[in-house]
Amino acid sequence: MNEIKCAVAMNQIGYPINGQKTAVFNEKSSGFHIEEEGTKRIVYRGKTSQPAFDRSSGSEVRKGGFSELAKPGTYVLVDDEGNRSTPFALEERPYGELHNGLLKAFYYLRCGETLDEKYAGEWGHKSCHTKLGVVHGEEGVYLDGNGGWHDAGDYGKYVVAGAKAVADLLLAYEMYPKAFVNSIPLPESDQVMPDVLHECKVELDFLFKMQDKRSGGVYHKLTTRHFPGLSIMPEDDLDELVFSPISAAATASYAAIMAFASRIYRTYDLSYADQCLRSAEYAWEWILKHPEAGGFKNPADITTGEYGDGCLFDEKYWAAAELYHTTNQEKYHSAFREYSTESFPKCELGWADVGGYGTISYLRKGKTEENQTLYDSLQEELISEAERLLSICENDGYGISLEEKDYMWGSNMVLMNRAMLLLIAMEWSPKPEYVKAAAQHLHYLLGQNTLHLSYVTGFGTHSVMKPHHRPSVGDDVDAPVPGMVAGGPNRNLNDEIMERTLQGKPAAASYIDHEDSYAGNEITIYWNSPALFVVSYFNQK
């Protein structure tokens, strides 16, 4: 990746007129002004803070605020050393196109259907992976696994990953429905059900096919036995599809997301909502019958993404919470209480650590006289975690909640998960500081970082151009498929090109925009999904 010659780090998309507006400087500048793009008329002057050393970026930074500037327009910030920022907008809702782009990315990741020019533009492709898949270990047993989303830069489809992504999207819609009033559009757009629910239904319909109709258990994933080459387009990936064995993690995550979906879709399609709930309860029966089931391991002949998990209490906790929330049945409440006594993170929102989804569902159901003690305890834990994140933000040069150790594989998921949690905490502790901190996380994602790079393809003056994403590599289009969040800096340098080129770099600079960097520059559905949640908050009408 070429170094971007810019000394002013800013959100390259822009800032809400009434929101907090900051820039981060890495030069000796003590002041700055803001001018209108085009006319160069100066509309604001400000001072920067004293320099402070930022450990994660390994540099001294200064901050400058300009929240008082509230006139809509497009501007450029110029520091007193003459360094110019990228242009940025001030609008009431500057993230409308970004919001559509982050959601549209899921359409581009659809499997099993032709993406035609009307909706996909120049990034379309033919239908793919439409053949039946064989059930691993059951010779001669073939099932339909058509549909859903490709998980990431590869073409695998993984239940635990899909459940996390759909949960983020459904939560975004449930909490911020006014962010979804505009159509993207999608082939299914009907001006009745919001497009986000049409898109989630694509994945849910696929997940139905992952449930073993004989037992209620859920196959862990549907992939080929090995990853195809990086330039292979979806329709050219013709190796045999394999349903990997049933796992407890997949089955519990499936039960959770189907129970959640049942509540959301009940307004629009009663029959579909009932189908979701029946399948969730069937999966729960499998969980009860297989208490000894452990984490998933790849069969010896399969080398695609494993999505292994050493702790399954959090998946079961989440499933019990969603089933209780949906049905109000005491058997699920009792199970939730039982799992809540186990030791696992109760506020995490990852694909492996899903306890936060259980906690959020339980709290959003509401406090009763019966559950007051547990409710208060979980609420206190959620707010305590938000406060912990806030304290990290206050000591970070870019105002985000990542410490050096958090710049790992998928650091941008950690970033957006934490911004998501800060916004969710507002429901029980409405502190403006949480919103300001969440906004800083979004600013970072969109360019206010030490690399001055927007980590969302197609959005920002300097954005990711070479994601580890097979269609973006294999098509004949120079620009990558837009709206996709890259994994971000990874201090562990877990791929060959990172290890070769980034030795000695600070944590927040341990990133290269290169298609071979699967540990830093891959895209996934569950990196996009928390980003969409956060942008939804700021895109409400």
Alpha-carbon gap, residue 343 to 128, rounded angstroms: 42
Sign of CA dihedral 117, 119, 121, 127: negative
Q: Provide long-range contacts, Cβ within 8 A and 24+ apart, for 370-373.
A: 371/333
CB contact burial 388-424 (16+ within 10 A = b; e otherwise): ebbebbeebbbbbbbeeebbbbbbbbbbbbbbbbbbb
Count how many Cα atoms sit within 13 Å of the Cα of residue 304 in the half-sphere of its side chain.
25
Structure tokens at 22: 């900051």
Closest CA to 1 of 525, 531, 416, 505: 505
112 backbone dihedrals φ, ψ, rounded to 5°: 90, 5
Q: Which are the catalytic amino acids?
A: 468, 513, 522
**Sheet strands side by side (includes 157-158):** 142-143, 133-135, 241-243, 221-224, 157-158
In sequence order, which residues have a C-beta less than 8 Å from that of residue 478 and are 6 or more positions away? none
Closest CA to 150 of 178, 122, 191, 108: 108
Alpha-carbon gap, residue 400 to 319, rounded angstroms: 31
Structure tokens at 374: 């547990």
Alpha-carbon gap, residue 261 to 528, rounded angstroms: 19
Strands 241-243 and 142-143: unpaired
Other Cβ atoms closer than 10 A to 431: 15
Alpha-carbon gap, residue 86 to 8, rounded angstroms: 8
Count how many Cα atoms sit within 13 Å of the Cα of residue 140 in the half-sphere of its side chain.
0
